[in-house]
Amino acid sequence: MEITKLFESNGAHKDEDLTNESYEFLCSLPKEKGWRTQNLYLYQGFWCQPKEIQATISAQNHFQAQDSDIMVASIPKSGTTWLKALTFAITNRNKYDLTKYHPLLDSNPHDLVPFLEYKLYADNKIPDLSNIGHPRLFATHIPLGSLPESIRSSKCKMVYICRSPFDTFISAWHFVNKIRPESYGPLEIEEAFDMYCRGVVGFGPHLDHMLGYWYECLAKPDKVLFLKYEDMKENLCFYLKKLADFLGCPFTLEEEKTGAVQEIGNLCSFKNMKELEVNQKGKGAIADFENKNLFRKGDVGDWVNYFTPMMVQRLANVMDEKLSGSGLSFKVF
């Protein structure tokens, strides 16, 4: 098949590019119907779209982590945008006076903390990262086992965020329905849910993704900080301090007294970020999607408005099976 036809058949735009080598490799992988592209392919044990596989391979071959780097990691729709904003605000807090100007007021967090696979190594690019100030902030949805080798072997720190699979599924389903090519029609919740429970979702199986980082955090707590969206919603100041400590830039007592922790929380709050012009009218923070799609409700427990009792039972069973004995759990009811 001609490469252009492959793009079209995968729902990608014609101006996107896959190398011949990537195309041949793709044809050798197991595939399933995709959520927003025609197919998802099973690469190194995780499900992924063609362009992201190519970018992942490129990152694996070319990205060189430095000891001072910070990597925000997650499975899609678990709070990545929020964690990027918080990480940027914490690590750059001595550079910007919040009463005057802050980059988060006119840039989407995805522009300030770029993804390896959607931005830096996308479209056959090999970026020059040598002139970025330290610490360099990057992000990825790539599962732990497929990260560029230097991320794991260097002292680079990783901050992972996960979220209850119930809410992550609902968030992903809504998002995909906003960005799917119109010609595909809506993605019905039953179909999406079946795929999700079978693990067929971008960068999934989602529970394997979480467990990869979870066990790495247990083995190397100085290397990986494992956060949960729900915990952060409940007690943000506590987790902001934990994050700052982990990243080696703890809040001083003076900062705590003068409300710096709270200020960062407010700057990055869902309400504040959703209302910014860059997030209402901007485009392209992730691929060519509208930024506003990254801010839907930002609630915990929205899944109750969508799940039937049978769906609850099925996902709870999948979670029991995968997570039992791991020490990782989520409050469901």
- Confirm whether 141 is a catalytic residue: yes
Q: Which is nearer to ligand PAP, 23 or 270 (CB)?
A: 270
The answer to whether the CB of 62 falls within 8 A of the CB of 128 is: no
Q: To the nearest whole angstrom, how small is the minimum distance from the Cβ of residue 153 to ligand PAP?
A: 26
Phi, psi dihedrals of residue 100, rounded to the nearest 5°: -105, -75
Q: Which is nearer to ligand PAP, 22 or 279 (CB)?
A: 279
Contact status: 102 vs ligand PAP (CB under 6 A): no
Contact status: 268 vs ligand PAP (CB under 6 A): yes
- Please tell me which residue in 102, 110, 134, 141 is annotated as part of the active site: 141
Q: To the nearest whole angstrom, how small is the minimum distance from the Cβ of residue 74 to ligand PAP?
A: 6
| Token reading at 209 | 């993704």
Using CB under 6 A, which of 70, 112, 294, 311 touches ligand PAP?
294
Q: To the nearest whole angstrom, how small is the minimum distance from the Cβ of residue 18 to ligand PAP?
A: 22
Using CB under 6 A, which of 126, 297, 317, 332 touches ligand PAP?
297
Q: Which is nearer to ligand PAP, 257 or 271 (CB)?
A: 271
Binders of ligand PAP among residues 58 to 97 (CB under 6 A) are 74, 76-82
Contact status: 140 vs ligand PAP (CB under 6 A): no
Surface-to-core class of residue 282, CB atoms within 10 Å of its CB (0-12 exposed, 13-18 middle, 19+ buried): middle
Task: State the binding string over 145-184 for ligand PAP (x if CB under 6 A, else -).
Answer: ----------------------x---x--x----------
Contact status: 25 vs ligand PAP (CB under 6 A): no
Surface-to-core class of residue 118, CB atoms within 10 Å of its CB (0-12 exposed, 13-18 middle, 19+ buried): buried
Q: Which stretch binds ligand PAP (CB under 6 A): 58-66, 191-199, 243-251, 268-276?
A: 268-276
Contact status: 273 vs ligand PAP (CB under 6 A): yes
The set of catalytic residues is 141
**Which residues contact ligand PAP (rule: CB under 6 A)?**
74, 76-82, 167, 171, 174, 268-270, 273, 286, 294-298, 302
